[in-house]
Each structure stands twice: as structure tokens, then as C-alpha cells.
Amino acid sequence: MTRKNIRTYAAFSIVGAGNTLIDFIFFFFLTACFVPPFLAQCLSYSAGMMNSYFWNRKWTFQVKKKADKWEWIKWMTANGAACFLTYFVLYVMQLADFSLFISKLVGTLLGLMITFTGSRVWVFQTENQQSEMER
């Protein structure tokens, strides 16, 4: 593992912790206000996702080029998949009578795997990564 990869993973983790904090605070605030958990999940995930896009683009992956619609579409696709997965896990674990906190935590951890992989290899792919993949 290179020094740059370690820095990228560390930055993604820091940004991810902030996103998760935003997501969790917003989620539990909404559910405390009697918003159904599944609607609260979509809203809170979206709040974390917007924070994530800004910080991961600027700081984690240090994208220099101007954002275009395809980057945004890829971002929304990767995060939409993660949102769907977290929603599905939340739903299934609630049916299985797990606590709301544990359900949310497990769904979030699985969603993080999708967002990191999607961000790293697809959304914020650097020119060096593109040329390596084309070989």
C-alpha cells in the first residue's frame, strides 16, 4: 500500500465519520419527531451524501477538473445503490426485531463499502487510474 493510498483511505474515513455523524444525528432527530424510520433514512442519508460529495471531491480524491454532469450522475448512482442497501438492511433488520440503532449501524457499514469503492474506482477516478485501467 502506497503512502498516497493510505492518505486517501484516512481522508475518506475522516469524511465518512463526519457524514455518518450527520446521517445519524439527522436520522435520530427525525425519528424522535415521529418521522417514519424509512423516510428518515432517505432524508438523513441525503444530508450525509451532500456533505460527502463536497469533501471527498475536494479533499479526499483532490479532483482538480471542473465537475460535470457525468460525475454527478455517477455519484448519485453509487450513493443511490448504497442508500437502497442501507434502507433494505434497515427494513429487514427491523422485521427481525433488531434495535433501530443496530439496524442503522449495520446498514451504514455496508453502505460505506459501496460508497468508498464507487468513489475510488468510478466517480473520482484520477487520470492515472484511467490510464492504468486502459492498459
Assigned domain for 48 exists: yes
Count of domains observed in the chain: 1
What is the tens place of the pLDDT at every residue in 19-57? 989 999 999 999 999 999 989 988 998 999 999 999 999
Q: Kindly indicate the confidence band of residue 126, based on its pLDDT and cuts at 50, 70 and 90.
A: low
Q: Is residue 134 part of a domain?
A: no
12: containing domain: 3-126
pTM recorded for the entire structure: 0.72
DSSP the chain: --HHHHHHHHHHHHHHHHHHHHHHHHHHHHHHTT--HHHHHHHHHHHHHHHHHHHIIIIIS---SPP-HHHHHHHHHHHHHHHHHHHHHHHHHHHTT--HHHHHHHHHHHHHHHHHHHIIIIIS--HHHHHHHH-
Residue 119 lies in a domain: yes
**Position 120 pLDDT exceeds 90:** no
Domain assignment present for 131: no
